[in-house]
Amino acid sequence: MSNQPIKLSEKLATFNEFWSPRIVAGFNGHDVMVVKVKGEFNWHSHPDTDDLFFVLSGRLTIQMRDGDVVLGPGEMFVVPKGVEHCPRADVETHLIIIEPEGTPNTGDAETAAIKTKI
């Protein structure tokens, strides 16, 4: 464990893939990740966990069946567990997401992106 700050901009500079989260830290059994997004993800839900999105840069629309939530830099939103949603970014957007360790980003281990630790 390092006593140095985690420089998110440096972590984000290590990859170019969209919708492919990178683990930058652990926190009480949770993965703290950075991710670059652009375009539309897929409609999904997490039956057992909430889904936290924190926008570092860009703009994120979280589409939900009962209405959209639009986030800009410095804003966050928690999608409650079991709520179907579809994140979308019209421009490249950088996020922090926090999920319990091992949580598949699609809610389904078979279709989830592999999380890489950096």
- The 10s digit of each residue's pLDDT in 22-78 is 999 999 999 999 999 999 999 999 888 899 999 999 999 999 999 999 999 999 999
Number of H helices, E strands in the chain: 1, 8
pTM (predicted TM-score): 0.88
Range 34-67 burial, b when 16+ CB lie within 10 A, else e: bbbbeeebeebbbeebebbbbbbbbbbbbbbeee
Domain of residue 79, residue span: 20-117
Are residues 62 and 93 in contact, defined by beta-carbon separation less than 8 angstroms? no
| Residue 112 DSSP class | P
Element (H, E) at 89: strand 85-100
> Where does residue 105 rank: exposed (0-12), middle (13-18), buried (19+ CB within 10 A)?
buried
Q: Flag whether 9 is in a domain.
A: no
More confident residue, 109 or 32: 32
Q: For the chain, how many structural domains are there in total?
A: 1
Q: Flag whether 55 is in a domain.
A: yes
